[in-house]
Amino acid sequence: MFIFEKSPKSVAAEAYRALKTNIQYSSFDKEYKTIVITSSNPGEGKSTTAGNLALTLAEGEAKVLLVDCDMRKPSVHKNFRITNTYGISDILLQKKKVTEVAYSYNKNLSIITAGKVPPNPAEMLASKAMTAFLKEMKDHFDYIVLDTPPVQAVADAQILSTKTDGTLVVVRAGVTKKDEVKNTINTLNKINANIIGTILHAVDNTRNKYQYYYGNE
Ligand SMILES: Nc1ncnc2c1ncn2[C@@H]1O[C@H](COP(=O)(O)OP(=O)(O)OP(=O)(O)O)[C@@H](O)[C@H]1O
Ligand SMILES: [Mg+2]
């Protein structure tokens, strides 16, 4: 279960609300409607962050769509305990419509799981069908949060970063190395990704096990 659902008054939930405020107000010229969540390596907290952020953004009036774009190691369906019979891969292959696949998790949050794992996830995410999907979803949702694989492993997150408004880089406290964060930021900068900031995930201290840091550096 997500910390944001389990303990909505916790410091961690408050940190997610602060992140939400930053996303809402950090850009004067441009709205962050489509947001990629990625990190350098596996297991750094991307999917946890994507889930909590989607729940937080959906807390008020905004309509939010969470999409599991990690077709290599899908986990959104497990974290939300929903079916993964069909998902984004089926939509991109034009086998299913969004309305047939999207799961209504609560009043404001819809979820599209990964679906069947295709042989060529990067190609699928790079497709015109994906660009068209994101464009269409922007008409129906205020925020679209994309969970993705790690930047250092495959190109999927980079590909999506070129098609979206902003990218959040998750850094796992005490685990992700400084150079790895630098490399990831460099890789994303090279393709002109709009990096919203980094999130320090899973800070362990006695007062608060979960803590997040938001910033541009
Ligand atoms: N704040 C936290 N404190 C301790 N453990 C955590 C915390 N957040 C997540 N975890 C655990 O760390 C593991 C990795 O988290 P998560 O699945 O969010 O990472 P990921 O970056 O999406 O991983 P992958 O690269 O495999 O997709 C999970 O087993 C999760 O339960
Ligand atoms: Mg994940």
What size, in residues, is the chain? Answer: 217
Q: Which residue has the tokens 């899908």?
A: 74
Q: Are 70 and 46 in contact (CB under 8 A)?
A: yes
Q: What ranges make up the beta strands (E) of 27-124?
A: 34-39, 64-68, 103-104, 109-112
Q: Kindly provide the b/e burial profile for residues 157-166, where b requires at least 16 CB atoms within 10 angstroms of the residue's own CB.
A: bbbbbebbbb
Ligand 1 residue neighbourhood (C-beta within 6 Å)? 39, 42-48, 70, 73, 75, 150, 202, 210
Average of pLDDT values for 177-185?
A: 95
- Cα(44) to ligand 1 centroid in Å equals 6
**Centroid of chain to Cα 194:** 14
Q: Which residue has the tokens 């998750």?
A: 170
What secondary structure letter does DSSP report for 134?
H
pLDDT of amino acid 12: 87
- Give just the sign of the alpha carbon dihedral 88, 198, 188, 184: negative
Average of pLDDT values for 35-56?
A: 97
User: 51-55, 114-118, 202-206 — which is least confidently predicted?
Assistant: 202-206
Domains of the chain: 31-215 (3.40.50.300)
Q: How does residue 204 score in pLDDT terms, banded at 50, 70 and 90?
A: low
Give the H/E segment covering residue 4: helix 3-6
- In DSSP terms, 22 is beta-bridged to none
pTM of the model: 0.93
- Cα(44) to ligand 2 centroid in Å equals 8
* 26 vs 171 pLDDT, higher one: 171
Q: Are 213 and 200 in contact (CB under 8 A)?
A: yes
Q: How does residue 209 score in pLDDT terms, banded at 50, 70 and 90?
A: very low
- Cα(41) to ligand 1 centroid in Å equals 11
